[in-house]
Homo-oligomer: A and B are copies of this chain.
Amino acid sequence: MISIEDINLEKEIVHYIDWLSSFGKNGNGGITRLLYTDEWKEAQDGLKNLMEELGFDTYYDKVGNLFGRLKGSHYIDETILTGSHIDTVVNGGKLDGQLGIIGGIIALKYLKDNFGQPLRNIEVVSMAEEEGSRFPFAFWGSKNIIGGATKEMVENLKDANGLSFVEEMYRLGFDFNDDDYKGREDLKAFVELHIEQGGVLEIEKKSIGVVHHIVGQRRFTIKVKGEANHAGTTPMGYRKDALYGSSKMIRSIIDKAVEYGDPLVATVGRLEVKPNTVNVVPGEVVFSLDIRHICKETIIEFTNEVEKIINYISSKMGLEIEIEKWMDCDPIAMDEELVNSIKNKCEKEGLNYKLMHSGAGHDSQIFAKVIPTAMIFVPSHKGISHSPEEFTAPKDLVEGVKALIEILKDLAY
């Protein structure tokens, strides 16, 4: 059993997170630190200095992922990796991404100070990019580490100001991996500490979530076409009201999702009405549908239910529909053995944990395709994320880092 001074750990976490938050800080307390911007590079260089001060070997890979390394004494071709992403959304909070990097650094420092050199290499990574906030491409950092990204995928991308992905990357001295790069072969496990970005842990009064699956997602755009008509002169029986039809569809779809129960979620987040005028019967409605579950078969089954609902209502009301599926991302399981190890550590150390799935996407879903991967969540106050309001109680941050230390110790020593 590791003896950890909670009070010192808490001070260190809060201190380093505040320090890292100064890179790209906005006037309102939020952080905007997009891939390959100056503030992004300053944050990476700042982290590099910090890691070196703490005695880690450091290096950038070709695309700008930053690594800090404790060299192993015995299995020198085997590396245990932790960390998260350094980029933020526009006006993001202090914890999304940053916590996983700072938590990793503190864990390595603690392990080094208390247990010396590990048997295997341990590395903490500050990944270049995960959010897709500057360019329309997400998971650039993790995909490069596993050899799952190529120049071709991004070479035509531009940001909102028309600046090119490639030129911005070159400007900071980075480059693409070779096209035949197969990814790192020394990596034996990846463990990511992250905020939950949902309200479940807080509501259930748990300090740690041990993630067993990351959900798959399907996203659709559904267009419902009726007939725009005068709101006063068109009797109810002569209408083809696209919003009335859409309301029936949305109600039935969400009812069905509630009936399916956890962990299925279905969300209609976006809806546009045409012509969107008080005194005109809506002629067209376009709405989005986001479906998530940890089991691919359930997603398929639920999608079929949705299509049945939409077809039934539209044909009954004489409406035309178009359903476009524009995202289809399979669920992925975390490594069962690793999940059990974390769970056992939590039990042994008396940490207040819950086995759960992740409803949001993370770098871990990229690693999980190729190496044993697991995630440790800490609570998000009111479920808020991607906002300057992101907050996790310091005692929960401590529990999260403790769990990370325990599993890294287990894997690398």
| Residues of A bordering B, CB below 8 Å | 196-200, 203, 215, 217, 219, 229-238, 241, 243-244, 246-248, 250-251, 254, 257-258, 261-273, 276-282, 288, 290, 292, 358-361, 380, 383, 385
Which single member of B243, B359, B360, B380 contacts A268 (CB below 8 Å)? B243
A276 touches B271 (CB 8 A): yes
Which single member of B234, B266, B292 contacts A199 (CB below 8 Å)? B234
CA distance A124 to B97 in the complex (A): 75
Which single member of B196, B232, B250 contacts A292 (CB below 8 Å)? B232
A264 touches B278 (CB 8 A): no
CA distance A199 to B231 in the complex (A): 12
Which single member of B198, B235, B236, B248 contacts A234 (CB below 8 Å)? B198
A385 touches B232 (CB 8 A): no
CA distance A190 to B230 in the complex (A): 25
| Minimum C-beta distance from A303 to chain B (A) | 16
> Nearest chain-B residue to A265 (Cβ)?
B236
A232-B358, A267-B280 known; 14 new pairs, CB 8 Å cut-off, are A217-B232, A230-B359, A231-B267, A232-B361, A233-B383, A235-B263, A236-B264, A238-B383, A243-B268, A246-B247, A247-B251, A247-B268, A251-B251, A270-B277
| Minimum C-beta distance from A75 to chain B (A) | 36
| Minimum C-beta distance from A222 to chain B (A) | 12
Q: A198-B234, A199-B229, A233-B358 are in contact. Are A281 and B254 (CB under 8 A)?
A: no
B198 touches A232 (CB 8 A): yes
| Minimum C-beta distance from A253 to chain B (A) | 9
Which single member of B233, B288, B359 contacts A232 (CB below 8 Å)? B359
Interface centre among A233, A236, A272, A276 (most CB of B within 10 A): A233
A269 touches B247 (CB 8 A): no
Contacts of A244 on B, CB cut-off 8 Å?
250-251, 254, 268
Contacts of A277 on B, CB cut-off 8 Å?
269-270
Contacts of A290 on B, CB cut-off 8 Å?
231-232, 278-279
| Minimum C-beta distance from A68 to chain B (A) | 29
CA distance A137 to B281 in the complex (A): 23
CA distance A229 to B382 in the complex (A): 9
B268 touches A230 (CB 8 A): no
Q: A244-B250, A247-B247 are in contact. Are A230 and B280 (CB under 8 A)?
A: no
| Minimum C-beta distance from A258 to chain B (A) | 5
CA distance A307 to B259 in the complex (A): 28
A276 touches B265 (CB 8 A): no
Q: A236-B258, A290-B231 are in contact. Are A271 and B271 (CB under 8 A)?
A: yes
CA distance A4 to B323 in the complex (A): 56
11 CB-based A-B contacts, threshold 8 Å: A197-B232, A198-B229, A230-B359, A236-B262, A247-B247, A247-B250, A267-B278, A267-B279, A267-B281, A270-B276, A279-B290
B280 touches A269 (CB 8 A): yes
A241 touches B254 (CB 8 A): yes
Interface centre among A232, A276, A358 (most CB of B within 10 A): A232
A271 touches B273 (CB 8 A): yes
CA distance A207 to B288 in the complex (A): 44
A359 touches B233 (CB 8 A): yes
